[in-house]
Chain A
């Protein structure tokens, strides 16, 4: 499972999302879009919008910290294992 999170430093939901994955021991890559312009454009392209966080789980795009949507995708992954 490949997880990428697009964040800004002042966004509490980005922190909550990272803590969520940390608590489950799931690894992810984080891109701070305020530092990385290319990734900022990529995020807008992928999600079609400009709200953070954007979470990409194996190409499935989740906008905001939508716990239910994340859990659904992760459960599938855990079941597949």
Chain B
């Protein structure tokens, strides 16, 4: 059991990790690459004349692992709350913690599928846990090509046996953990031209004018973004930003947020600043709610 799991290993997540790690907490940082890797040269981070984004990240990671923080390069597919504990499900494993810091960066979605937005709620959904019930014994599809699509398809099996994964022209890309699960589903690799219907979605239309009739479609972004992860946690966002209180805590107790996902001014310096604040608030939370083993031992 970790004291804190930090999702996202950009400057915000690493900064939060540094504070928790230096205070002796058991911390896991889990995430995929950072946006900062794309910055050829950073010249506006105080104290450093010029440095490449990659090098700045390398030094930061070293600084953080040096104080005992674990870092894993994994994709987070789901976070859920059970008996006051958080379970973080990744494409490789599953980890438990007492609190969570979200540092996911700016929101990313899939490449747009024509007409998808038009039919949201009308046989298109982004949330199996919310709307799966309406597709009981129906013919449904999941659009996606990663482990997230398989996770959504597994949830849909509770409602119907007729589930197909539509990869939109891609090959399925999943880790070993999901290969056996994948065998339970039909996979259709054709490229989707658009989604079609009158009032409601009724057909998926592929290139070459091929089409199939469908009762409902769930869209699964390859890397779950904050909206996807919120479908199990219920974290409020406003104008594309996560809502936080003065302690960087979201509306869900023990879940904090920092970095580009809360900032208007999206920079390394602001990400590091809010990461430090989130890390510090998390420490206070662990102490005040008597969850800190360290303080209990004193």
Contact = CB atoms under 8 A, between A and B. Distances in A.
A67 B121 contact: no
Contacts of B184: none
Interface residues of A, number: 20
B248 interface: no
A12 B122 CA distance: 20
Interface residues of B, number: 22
B130 interface: yes
B236 A12 contact: no
A50 B135 CA distance: 10
Contact of B131 (A51, A67, A68): A51
Contacts of B186: none
B241 to A, nearest CB: 14
Contact of B133 (A12, A15, A34, A63): A34
A8 B130 contact: yes
Nearest to A50: B134
A19 B55 CA distance: 46
A52 interface: yes
A51 B236 contact: no
A39 B121 CA distance: 17
Interface of A: 8, 10-16, 33-34, 40, 47-52, 63, 67-68
Given A51-B121, A63-B121, 7 more contacts: A8-B131, A10-B129, A11-B131, A14-B130, A16-B234, A51-B131, A67-B238
Interface of B: 120-123, 125, 127, 129-134, 199, 216, 230-234, 236, 238, 251
- Listed from nearest, the 6 A-B pairs whose CB atoms lie closest are A49-B121, A12-B234, A11-B130, A51-B121, A50-B134, A16-B234
